[in-house]
Each structure stands twice: as structure tokens, then as C-alpha cells.
A and B are shown apart, each in its own frame.
Chain A
Amino acid sequence: MLFRIFFAVCILAWGAVVSAAPLKLEINQGVIEPVPFAVPAFVPETSGAEGMAQDLAQVVAADLLGTGLFREIPQSAFVGAITSFSSPVQFSDWKVVNAQVLISGAVSIEGSNITVKFRIYDVFAGNELGSGMRFSGQVSGWRRMAHKISDAVYSRITGEAGYFDSRIVFVSESGTKSARKKSLAIMDYDGANVQYLTNDNDLVLAPRFSPTGDRILYTSYETGFPRIYLLEVNGLRKRALQDQPGTMSFAPRFSPDGQSVVYSLERNGNTDLYEMNLASGQMRQLSNAPSIETAPSYSPDGTQIVFESDRSGTQQIYVMDRAGGTPKRISFGDGRYGTPVWSPRGDMIAFTKQNKGRFHIGVMRTDGSEERLLTASFLDEGPTWSPNGRVIMFTRETQGASGVARLYSVDVSGRNLKPVPTPGGGSDPAWSPLGR
């Protein structure tokens, strides 16, 4: 009898162990498709906020839709509605329309002040993603509030920072190709709120944001020779960097700490890389070769510099320590490589490649491996990274005498290639850090 009890206990214990061990499986293949989301019109909590409530929802929807990672459920398909910001959400109403993410919000306007609240829900899980947030500010800044909401949604869904609350500085172009006029302009990342920083009297090139977004470096032919200027965005005050007679300086870029600038300096027919401390004006030569070294870009940690050089006979990409040393070539594919830009994440380098009469925007690892070409056209050049390192914006110029330069953006995966709206032509874009 006791034997039976003993064996029964053993069986029970074994059964308990077996039942406690869940079935372990692994999935390696998924799908790549946009996440369906629903953004009903925000709830107007004050009179006169009805229009703003609808506009906010539209901007948020446009931001998410423009990433290519989300798919909007049209409001006409909704079977439920958000009538109160604090009321519990009927998830079944949103499951029916296959919305995986629901964004609800409310807006109130008092005088010139606006307050926006929002919540993000995971419909299938039936819970809220993170906590709700609220922004307050001037009514004129409502678009930026909408972008901040989009950033929050993007961040909570994808796990990486957004890029919607950012701006683009670029060279605005007008006129025919033979008599092209160029000026500096700045706008929201989506093409809204365009402002011109310079007139079109002088040729300007290659603007670059400072890490704080309040200053811009650019090259101008104001004196007849290329020269680097530092422009304060808010006051539009500018000053030329310390210059040396008989030299040309161009292709500037801020260091990650914003204290220094790396650029190319042409002297006696030879172009090398230099670094200048903005506070002291002290210069330091980084390269010394008879070839042309240009388009330098810091790594995010500021310890390395990637640049292009023709020291091997053709235009290739090299990486060198910021302190100096022998550069290491990292591009070995067919064609010519130029305009390298280090990703804000630090894991990739975007570049322009010219091969067999076509131009490409591509990315590669910082050691030159895993090269991938994202675009191909008659002329693609000048890539710039979004603040989160997920999107690349560049210049695409069409062929012929009537060809026009436009801004385009593409996801780092090569998907979602689309033009960026600008008032006229645009080239040489540079993305600001997140939040300006």
C-alpha cells in the first residue's frame, strides 16, 4: 500500500514538473508590413478648439503614415468614437477595424495658449502604452506639439526615438539650371514652416546644423572664394571662421560636442583636413597628403573622422582617428565613393556612390562591410541622417537642361523612398537634432 502511495506521489510530482514546463518554441520569420493605427479627431475641451482638434489628428496621422511603418485606418471606417478623453476605451470597437494602435487626445485653447493631451493604446493587448502626456504652449506651436505626439507614438511602438520634431536646413534653389540662384532655408522635417536664412545673391553650399540646432555652418562664395560661415539661427547673425589669405575652406561639420569644426582647407593646390576650435580659433591639421581630402564627418563619440580622398587614384572613403594617424580605407566596391556621413547611432556610414554612370545613396558598416545601395538615379548625392538614424535625406537631380534638384528621403532599409516638399528646388539638406 505504501508503495502505491509512494508511486502516486512520484507521479504527481513528476506531473507537476511536466506541467510546469511550458512548451518552448522559437520564431525567426515574421512579416514586414505597416502597423495599422487609428487617430480619431481629438476631443475639443473648449469652444473654438474643434478645428484644432481635427488638425492635430491629421498631422499626427501624416507623421506616422510618412514613415512607411504605419498604416492609417480612415476615420470613415471607425465604428466607435472617442467622446471623452478620460472615458475608458472600448477596445472591441477598434479591434473590429483592425487597428492595433489607437491614439486619443484632447485639446483646449484659452486665449493664445493651447493645451494638448494624448494617450496611446495597444488595442489587441487591451492596455495603454506608457502614460498619457500633456503639452502646453502658444497656439502657433500646435504643429510642433503634434510632432511631439508623433514622436511619442513612434517611440513607444518601434522602441527608438522619433524624428518628427526636427527641422531641415537646405539650399533652396530657383531659376534655370544655367542661372541658378541659391539661398539657405530652414523648414520642419515635413516641409512646413519654411524660412529663408540668406538671400540668393551669393552662392551657398553645404549647410550643417550644430549639435544643439541653434547654429549653422555653411560655405558661401560671398567673397568670391569659398569660405565657411557660422550662422545663429535665431538672430541670423553670422561670422566667418578665421581665414588665411590665399586659401579656400569648405565642407565644414560640427564636432559632436559643438566645440570644434572639421573642414577642408585648400592651400597651394592641395586640400587637407583641418580642425578648428571655435572658441580659440586654433587650427590643427589632420591630414597631410598630396591628394584631395574632403567631406569629413565625426563619429558620434567624436573619436574618429570619416572622409573621402582620392589618394588611391579614385574617390574612396577613409576613416582616421581624430587625434591623427594613418587613415584606413573602408570602401572597396566598384565605382567612386564620396560624401560619407556617420550615423547618429554610430553603426553605419551613409555615402554617395557613382558607378557606371549612375549615382546611388548607400550605407555600409563603419568597417566598410555590408554595403547596401538604397537608391539609384541620374544624380543622387549629399545624404544626411535623421536624428534617430533611421531615415536618410538626400538630393536628387533630374537630367537635362530643365533638370531640377529636389529633396528625397528613404528609410535605411531602402523602403519608403519619397520626395520632401519644398517651395522650389532644394539641395544639400542637413537634418537637425531632435527637438531642434
Chain B
Amino acid sequence: MNVGHYISGAMHVGVLAWLAVAGVFTPEPLDIKTVEVSVLTSDEFDALMRPFEAPVVSDDMVLPEIPAAPEDTPPQAPAQDSSVETQVVTPPPVADFEAPVPPAPVDPIEIIAPEVTEDAPVLAPPSEDIPQTLPTLDPDTGPIDADRVAPRPVARPDTLLPVGPETQAPELDAQAPDTPAKVEVTPSAPEAATTQIITEAVETGTGAPNTSLRPKARPARPDPVQAEVAEEEPVQTETEEPTGPATDPVSDALQQTDILAALGEALAEPELPAQSPPLSANEIGGLISAISNCWNVNVGAEAANIAVTVYFQLTETGRVVPNSVTFVDSSDGNSLAAQAAFQAAQRAIFGCQAEGYQLPIEKYDQWAEIELTFDPKDMRTR
């Protein structure tokens, strides 16, 4: 026997001693509580059960006296008194909790404990969240402050068109070179009108479309019978040019201008892209997967070290628009290799379109134009 055995034995003894002293082997006390019980006689039990018998409802019920509690005090729970428990208690009148009219700064309220309770609840100081009944306002008193848009009435602008950078968008000027001279419009809104949108919401006949624009539905793959019916009964589109009320002098004046005509024409354009939800990850993944299957990477060639970006357009059927595939950019490499990378990308785009890439037609505006980067960084070491 060597020293190692002595050391091992000593350590084992130490561990066992520690376990014993630390109470590892002592069972934990059970979570049991002792409850004292007493024995009742049958008379005592009957006496106890008597109050729980069904109450006798009478019309001449006497309500308990409601203490003169403060008006803001919430209803108090009935006291645990036997005489009350047997009654159907009507809650205190709600009117007692109506806020004072008109609203005024709330003074500190003195807490008075109700007589029916032994312990009055401790109430927090009242806040401004106390329910209040809005005062009845005279319709002639002017607009109400709206925190949402304009907390305070603002001075009437010089013109109804807010002057700012947005109104000076160059696109507007460029697209409407024939914009007529400024039309003098007499503001019809009250003097104290704010800039909030709600002040104009009551107007009708705005000329705006009733619904948001939607892309056209996918061309019919279905049966030709329905197609014939559709041809015979053309459906009136929602984007039909709206007609405003002819009685609005301002609208009449503007309808004679080119700008309104251009706007109406633009709004009536069915191909106008409407904002649709973005493509989901699965939809994008499906497109990428489809093209990836035809993207032939020439591993070992210089083109395999080049990322090339390609732009192309898709029709609503998901097919590539001929001659729309164009070279956008390449990461590096000589022109010959970059050209080869572009051609490989082009073959991938054309090669796997089959009958068209499967993309949701309702999101056509999202995928009508695609800028696709082919980066073989994950293929170089394969």
C-alpha cells in the first residue's frame, strides 16, 4: 500500500463526513401543517348552518344606510355582517360616481371610512384619469383641441397648400410643364380651422379613387368559357376615372386645368403600381432556388471569383421580358471574365423560367423588376 491509497482513503472519509455533517442524508421535512379541529355538537352545527339558508325576498326590504362617502370613493364591498349577507344588495347608485360638472381641479379628498366597514381602504390621491363626463359644449364655441394633430389652433396659412419642400418636388414640375397659373382659391374653412386632416374629411366628391389601386389579376389560365364571358362583359374597373361633383366651383376650375387632367389620367392608369406587401421569405427563396438550379458556376475559372449584378424584368406570368436582362455591375475581374459571369447569369435566368417563375400575382409590383446579384463566394472552394 502506497501513499496514494492513504490519500484516497482520507479523501473518501472526508467526503463522507462532510455529507453526514452537511445533512445530505437527512430527509427534508415534509410540507405538512398541523391544523387543530374541534368537535361540534349537532345543535351547534345547525346553528352554524342556519344563516346559509335561502334568503326570503321581500319588497319592503330596508336598504342599509349608505354612508356619506366621498363622491370619488369607489364602491365598498359589503361588510361581513350576517344581516347584510342575507340580503340582495343593490350596488350604490352609479350617479354617485359621476364626475362633477364642470370639471375643476380636484381638491384633496378626505378619506372617511364607511361605517359598514371596519377597515377603510387606503385610497391613492385621485388623478386626472377619474372618469368624467365631458361638458356639453356650445357648437359655436369653436373647434376642440386635438392632441393628435394640432394641440393648439394655429394661425391660418397664407395658402391652403402648405409651403414646404414636399410641394416643391421636382417631379411635379417636370411632369407638369403646362401647370397653369396659380388658381386663387377662397378658403372656405372657418378662421380657426386647424391643419388637421379631419377638418376636410366632411367634403365629398374629391375626385380621389374610392379604393386603393390593385394590380391586374394574373391572366387567365382557366377555361376559355370564362374568358369569353369576360370579353363579352367587360368589368368596370375600380380605377375608372372618378367624377367629382359638378357643383364644386373649385373642382370645376381645376378640372379645366392640365394638372388635374394629368392627375386623373395617372390615377386611372391600371398599371400604376400599388403598394403591396413584400414578398415573403418563402416566395423569395422559391425564386432564388429556381434560378440557382440553372446557375452553372465554372469553378476554377476567373469568373468564379466575380460577383455580377444583373437587372431584368418579369411579366405578370413570371416570364423574363425579352431583352430586359442587362448587366449592372461586377465586383472585379477582367472584362472577359465579368462578361462570362454575366452570360452565365443570363443563362440561369432564362434557362429555368420554364412557364414562368412562380410568384404571387397580387405582389407583382414587388417583383416586376429584379436586380439579382450572382456571387459564387460559396462555390469557390467546392
Contact = CB atoms under 8 A, between A and B. Distances in A.
B292 A18 contact: no
A27 B293 CA distance: 11
Interface string B352-382: 0000000000000111111111111111001
A158 B288 CA distance: 23
B337 A160 contact: yes
Contacts of B365: 18-19
B373 A26 contact: yes
B279 interface: yes
Contacts of B311: 22
A12 interface: yes
Contacts, number: 170
Interface string A105-130: 00000000000000000101110010
Interface in B137-168: 159-162, 166-167
A155 interface: yes
Given A5-B260, A13-B171, A125 B375 contact: no
Nearest to A26: B373
A122 B349 CA distance: 13
Interface residues of B, number: 79
Contacts of A12: 263, 266-267, 272
Given A6-B167, A100-B347, A23 B338 contact: no
A19 B369 CA distance: 8
16 contacts: A1-B203, A3-B161, A4-B207, A10-B166, A22-B369, A23-B279, A30-B295, A30-B296, A31-B297, A32-B297, A32-B299, A69-B298, A129-B343, A156-B340, A158-B301, A158-B303
Interface string A19-42: 101111111111111010000000
A173 interface: no
B287 interface: yes
Nearest to A31: B296
Nearest to B300: A413
Contact of A411 (B159, B160, B300): B300
A16 B302 CA distance: 39
A141 interface: no
Contact of A4 (B206, B325, B346): B206
B182 to A, nearest CB: 10
Interface in A400-417: 411-413
A158 to B, nearest CB: 5
A24 B340 contact: no
B93 to A, nearest CB: 49
B339 interface: yes
Interface in B100-149: none
Interface of A: 1-6, 8-10, 12-13, 15-16, 18-19, 21-33, 35, 69, 100, 122, 124-126, 129, 155-160, 345, 390, 411-413
A100 B351 contact: yes
Contact of B376 (A23, A30, A390): A30
B208 interface: yes
A30 B288 CA distance: 10
Nearest to A35: B296
B189 to A, nearest CB: 10
A27 B372 contact: yes
B137 to A, nearest CB: 27
Contacts of A33: 296
Nearest to B302: A160
A124 B351 contact: yes
Interface stretch (B10-18, B36-44, B53-61, B248-256): B248-256
A23 B303 CA distance: 24
Nearest to B306: A159
B295 A6 contact: no
Contacts of B337: 159-160
B250 A28 contact: no
Nearest to A414: B300
A160 B260 CA distance: 58
B320 to A, nearest CB: 10
A294 B310 CA distance: 49
Given A28-B375, A159-B341, A122 B346 contact: yes
Contact of B172 (A2, A13, A21, A159): A13
A116 B101 CA distance: 105
A31 B293 contact: yes
A125 B346 contact: yes
B357 to A, nearest CB: 12
Nearest to B335: A159
B259 interface: yes
Contacts of A1: 185, 203, 206, 248, 250-251, 254
B294 interface: yes
**10 tightest A-B contacts by CB?**
A159-B340, A30-B295, A22-B369, A124-B350, A159-B337, A19-B273, A413-B300, A30-B297, A26-B373, A159-B303
B275 interface: yes
A22 B338 contact: no
B81 interface: no
Contacts of A29: 292, 295, 378-379
A174 B259 CA distance: 92
